[in-house]
Amino acid sequence: MMTPKRKEPDLSTYAGRCGSRLRMLREKKGLTAEQLAERLGVSYRTVYRWESGEHDPPFNLLPKIANVFGLHSPREVLAEQ
């Protein structure tokens, strides 16, 4: 599997800050994007799009993402406003 080139998120946007937070949580947990994708039932490209700030994760996946990272609330997945 070829990993796409890592794109840094634009931290001036909410999506970029959210992507940066997701990447930080994933790396802190010691997971690759591919491993996170597998646990969430999405493609690794989807995880890269979230982390690059291209797209936000869908709200219906936030509880599952929070669970993977051991967070108490899905709100903890999201970036601060």
Q: What is the Cα–Cα distance from 14 to 34, expressed in whole angstroms?
A: 24
User: What is the arithmetic mean of pLDDT over 43-71?
Assistant: 93
CA distances from 56 to 1, 2, 21, 65 (A): 24, 23, 11, 12
- Res 38: pLDDT: 97
pLDDT of residue 1 exceeding 60: no
pLDDT tens for each residue of 7-36: 677 777 778 888 999 999 999 999 999 999
Average pLDDT, the chain: 87
For 11-46, b where at least 16 C-beta lie within 10 A, e where not — what string? eeeebbbbbbbbbebbeeeebebeebbeebebebeb
Spell out the domains of the chain, with CATH numbers in brackets: 14-77 (1.10.260.40)
pLDDT of residue 2 exceeding 70: no
Q: Whole-prediction pTM value?
A: 0.82
